[in-house]
Amino acid sequence: MAWGGLDAAPMLREDCRSMSDLSIIPNLDRTPYSEALRRALYDAVRQLQLPEHSEPVLLYAWGRWFAVWEDLGEDHSHLPLHRRWEVVRIQSDPSRPEGIMLHEV
């Protein structure tokens, strides 16, 4: 298998983009991890992101979903790295078109 270690990560992310089979985001507090759910959340987070944000990384830990991305805007370039990264908790919200709400961590 010729998966070049860390070099394979961008290829895997590319394959998973916009491939969600879920049309509605379920209650995240009661739904276990699945790849279909991760893809659906990725698509929903991308809809809410600003153009100057880097591609998000989604994490499932402690029974919660988180998204992390770097703010690449010009006015943030002078800040140290730890101030340019944003971390949010993802919560389902059926009243919103994206089906989710993001909460700062």
With pLDDT > 70 as the criterion, what percentage of the chain qualifies?
80
Q: What is the model's pTM?
A: 0.77
How far is residue 25's CA from residue 15's CA, in Å, rounded to a whole number? 20
Give me the amino acid identity at 48: L
Q: Write out pLDDT tens, residues 35-66.
A: 999 999 999 999 999 999 999 999 999 999 99
Higher pLDDT, 81 or 8: 81
Of all helices (H) and strands (E), which one includes residue 45? helix 35-48
How confident is the model at residue 1, as a pLDDT? 34
User: Domains of the chain: which residue ranges?
Assistant: 27-104
Residue pair 56/42 in contact by the 8 Å Cβ criterion: yes
Cβ-based neighbours of 66, under 8 Å, separated by 6 or more: 58, 59, 60, 87, 88, 89, 90, 105
pLDDT average, residue stretch 70-78 = 84
Give me the amino acid identity at 24: I
User: What is the CA angle 98-76-81, rounded to 5?
Assistant: 90
Q: What is the SS3 assignment for 103?
A: strand
